[in-house]
Amino acid sequence: MPEMKLSTFKSLKNYLVKEAKRGLNRRTGVNLRRDMHQEARQELDEMLLAFRAARIAVGDRRGWLRAVRQIVGIPVKEVARRLGMCRWGVFRLEKSESESRIMLGTLRRAAEALDCDLVYALTPRKGTLEELAAEQRAAREKEREAALEKVRAEEKERESKVLQVIGWRTEMRRHARRELRKAGFRVR
């Protein structure tokens, strides 16, 4: 990657799209995509390090809205006023977030009402993105090998059927010649 600082996901995405459009280096014919993807994964892994650490520290917490509201000390009435809804609307938001039913836009508005930013990311459950990509490559290779093995088995089966048919015809000819000779005909 060039010395370009990829500080946000958007800049990383734009960079990836631009590089993917380039594809092959026209002068050398070298495929830059593999190296570019590997470097992008490493860069993204570094950005996601904080999220992985936060996930480990927090565990399986549900209900960030209520936790932040209570810790900061903002009353429900004030959050409701900032969101332009009644107090029960805030409780419904907190409940829908804890049940993983809240929409991202609604969660963003609620975070703004709490004077917070909504930050989210997808992190691998185990290991890094590079390890996850290696697992995916191995799984695809395994599928290709299984498909190739299946094709080989079908080809071998077809070949054995052809040989059986050829053998059957040869045996039938031999038998027909024998019978014709017994009947008095001259057969080669």
pLDDT by residue (tens digit) across 63-90? 789 988 988 899 999 999 999 999 999 9
Q: What is the CA radius of gyration of the chain?
A: 34
Residue type at 56 in one-letter notation: I
Per-residue tokens: 135? 């697992």
Instruction: Give 141-165 pLDDT, tens digit per residue.
Output: 999 999 999 999 999 888 888 777 7
Res 125 pLDDT > 90: no
Model pTM?
0.52
Instruction: Give 33-48 pLDDT, tens digit per residue.
Output: 667 778 888 888 888 8
Beta bridge partners of 31: 24
- For residue 82, the tally of other CB atoms under 10 A from its CB is 16
Cα gap 68→70, rounded to integer Å: 5
Q: How far apart are the first and last CA of the chain?
A: 78
The fold of the 61-123 domain, in CATH, is 434 Repressor (Amino-terminal Domain) (1.10.260)
